[in-house]
Amino acid sequence: MTFYSYNYLKGGQTNWGIVRIAIIALLAVAFLIFLIKYFRNKWDLKYRDLTIILATLLLLAAAIQYSDLTNMHTASVQSGQLTVIIEKSAKKLGVQPESIAINDTSRNTDMLIKTPEGYYQLIFNGSGSEFLLSKVNLYEPDITVVGE
């Protein structure tokens, strides 16, 4: 079972794709260069074809980057919700949030937290605004904590 530490959730799970942004920038520069060459040499069709190919690649790369950006935003919001849950759990248990790990990166109904005192199950109310901590004993736990 994999648990994720408070610091891991606070710092974010994904790396920002600087390489992808650099590729998009290079494609945009190449597109502009071939577009200018095409307008200067209207009878040379190779520049038109290269401009169309680069425009297609640029749009594809931008769409992929936008999709990844929205996924990263969703993951960031979910991590923010989990850090609030960890902070509330730490306050209820009287421990530091940094000593708590949670078993999922998105909020669901079967969540466990790992504390120095043991393992607890989070039982949410109907609206999901509050939760109950119930101590549990795991049978032969194979625990990995990400972010420690």
Three-state SS letters, the chain: CEEEEHHHHHHCCCCCCHHHHHHHHHHHHHHHHHHHHHHHCCCCHHHHHHHHHHHHHHHHHHHHHHHHHHHHHHHHHHHHHHHHHHHHHHHHHCCCHHHCEECCCCCCCCEEEEECCEEEEEEECCCCCCEEEEEECCCCCCCEEECC
pLDDT of residue 23: 85
Q: Looking at the predicted structure, is the pLDDT value of residue 32 above 90? A: yes
Question: What is the tally of structural domains in the chain?
Answer: 1
Looking at 83-87, 90-94, 116-120, 124-128, which range is the least confident one? 124-128
For residue 57, what pLDDT band results from cuts at 50, 70 and 90?
very high
Is the pTM higher than 0.75? no
The share of the chain scoring above pLDDT 90, in percent, equals 11
| Range 120-139 average pLDDT | 82
Q: Which amino acid belongs to residue 58?
A: L
**Residue 121 lies in domain:** 2-146
